[in-house]
Structure 1
């Protein structure tokens, strides 16, 4: 199952934002910033990555539902989506 083209732009935007946050965390470490500030930024990066992953999974589930409405058996795809979801949880 491919990532829906409509979702790709949003996911890429989220990942680029996370990329910038990671560069910021590296700069904070190099500048000797307080550990609480660094961990706060790491948590923000983690949430951004999780949101990107969940957006992809939601797109996959939508594709499964649409295909199921068209009469296609989506059992294997839904099980795959469940495993992907749990890998992020």
Structure 2
């Protein structure tokens, strides 16, 4: 289950790298990855496939109802994944950083 929560973050990292390379190419960077578009798309596809495979119940659990397993895991991932969005929606004005 922990992997199911981390994989979307890695997918977003690949998406942000592609977006920044396209929208802000002039910014100096410490390292410039060769063939970043190819690497980014391979990473996004890999993250998507790993996320989907994470819902397949392992043989060691001896799951009798795979649909119930997927529903419970999906509900838990959705509930835990929603926490940052709830915090963001309920943020207070005094939490804002002063602009430089």
How would you bin the TM-score normalised by the shorter chain?
0.3 to 0.5
Q: TM-score, normalised by structure 1?
A: 0.48
Q: Name the larger-Rg structure.
A: 2
Choose between structure 1 and 2: higher helix proportion: 1
